[in-house]
Structure formats: structure tokens, C-alpha cells
Amino acid sequence: MTFPVPEKPKSAYNPTAPAVEQAAQLLFCLGKNKGHDMGLTAICKEIGIHKSKGYSILNALAKYDLVTRDHASKTYSLGPALMPLAQKAKEKFDITAVARDHLQQLAEATKTSVLLGIICNDQVFITGKYDGNESVSVTVNLYQSLPITHGSHGKAVFGYLPLEEQERLLSSGQVFFHGSPEDFDPKRLKSELSFCREKGYAVDQGRMSAGINAVSAPIFDHNDEVAACVIILGTFQEDRFEGIGKMIAETGRVISRQLGARI
């Protein structure tokens, strides 16, 4: 059974500057080239522009050291000016750094424990933990890993994975959405994924840890791909699910937008 990934609505109004688009395509072209530096003809053929246009763009980029030209071989490569820009972008888009203040505020507002999980190799690694209740705290170790199909965060993440990834995970048998793999209910999961797409969050009612409820929401990166999740854990009652769910869903959206997602 597969679970279609929902399409995100796109705005019909999308003004662009062709020269800027072509400059961006040119930089991406150079960045993808894993072999030798590229000549003008190869670059222009790759991105589909006339050589005179490509030459003008390359000269403009070279003026600001965004590309470098080897005069002997007449080839081009990415320039040194991109290094500080890349470092700055890395700092801005570091999910843990971007999410920190938002998750602490969420923990204090809900008086729960809030976790940040980063997705990597079919695992969710806990890279942040924020407590909003001094008297009650859920014990979770930083950098602990959990299966990507585990409980509420599994439901919040799974529905946004590519279909081939969904099929691979389901066929592996390592599905912990409802506890042990033997308890997995495909029809129930389909309903839960639909709920998550509509409401923006998923829940677990003490199935993973007795007495501990969980609510989770996805976080998307600048490619609009699910890259992380927010998880709220606590002993709160079921009647708080909706209120907490709305808060965690909005927090996930705010963090995603700051990471460059168009949601």
C-alpha cells in the first residue's frame, strides 16, 4: 500500500528576471560538474543559452569572484567569493539553530518537553530538547536515534516522503507507527496520514511509552522536502491534543519558512 505525497499549492504569479535565472542556472551547472572545469561551449549547451549571452554572464560573475576563469585552458569554475556566502547560508539554515528559540517558547507555552528530530538514514536523531515544566520532564538523551516510522513523529514524516521511500520502508517490515511491527494497521495509518495533512500534526496516545502521549509536526527545508520534526511529549490528557496540535503545527510551519520552505 502506498500513500500519495500531497502536492503543495503553487502561486500563479511568479515574476522572474531571465538574466538572473540564467546566472543561477550557470552557477548550479558549475556546481554539479564533478570533473574538470567547464568551457564556455559546454556550459551554454548545458543550460541552453547562446554563447554570447553565457560569456556576458560569466564575465559579470567573474567581476565579483563568483566564478573563476582559467585563461590558459579557457575554462570556468566556481569562485572564492561563494565560500563566505555558503558559510553564512549554512549558519542561517542550520535547523537546530533556527528552531531553538521557537521550540523553547513552545515548551514553555505547553508546559511539556519538546524535542527536535533531524532525519538521516531512516532514523530521527534528537538534536534538541527543551523543557517547559520544571517539575515534570521526559527523559530523552540528545543524539538518541529513533526509527523514522516510530509513533507520532513517524506519522508526521512518512506522508511527505517520496513514494519510493514509503514503499521501501513499508516493505522492510520495520514499521513502528502503532507499536511493534505486528501491531501495524495500514488502514489506520492511511487515516492518520490524511489527518496529519489536513491538521498539520500527528498524535500517539501512549502506544510507544505507557502514560506518555506525543504530538508531532513535520519541518520542511528549502527544497520543500521533509527534513526534521518537532515532537511534544508529556503526561497531558487526550483533551489537550487539539490545542497542542495547533501550536506545534504552527511552530513547524514557522521554522520551515525560515529554512526557505514555501508552505
Q: Report pLDDT for 87.
A: 77
User: What single string gives the DSSP state of each residue in 146-202?
Assistant: EETTBHHHHHHHHTTS-HHHHHHHHHHS--BTTSSGGG--HHHHHHHHHHHHHHS-E
Between CA 227 and CA 32 the distance in angstroms is 22
Tally of CB atoms within 10 A around 59: 11
The CATH number of the domain holding residue 28 is 1.10.10.10
Tally of CB atoms within 10 A around 239: 7
Burial class (CB within 10 angstroms; exposed 0-12, middle 13-18, buried 19+) of 240: middle
Domain endpoint, select from 67, 88, 109: 88
Q: What is the amino acid identity at position 197?
A: R
Going residue by residue through the chain (263 aa), what tens digit of pLDDT does each one get? 556 555 554 545 556 688 899 999 999 899 887 666 899 999 999 999 999 999 999 999 999 999 999 999 999 999 999 998 887 766 656 899 999 999 999 999 999 999 999 998 899 999 999 998 756 566 777 888 899 999 999 999 999 999 999 999 999 988 999 988 999 999 999 999 999 999 999 999 877 777 889 999 999 998 899 999 999 998 899 999 999 999 999 999 999 999 999 98
| Structural domain that includes position 41 | 18-88
Judgement on whether residues 135 and 80 belong to the same structural domain of the protein: no
Q: What is the pTM of this model?
A: 0.67
Report residue 47 as a C-alpha cell.
Answer: 543550460
Number of domains in the chain: 2
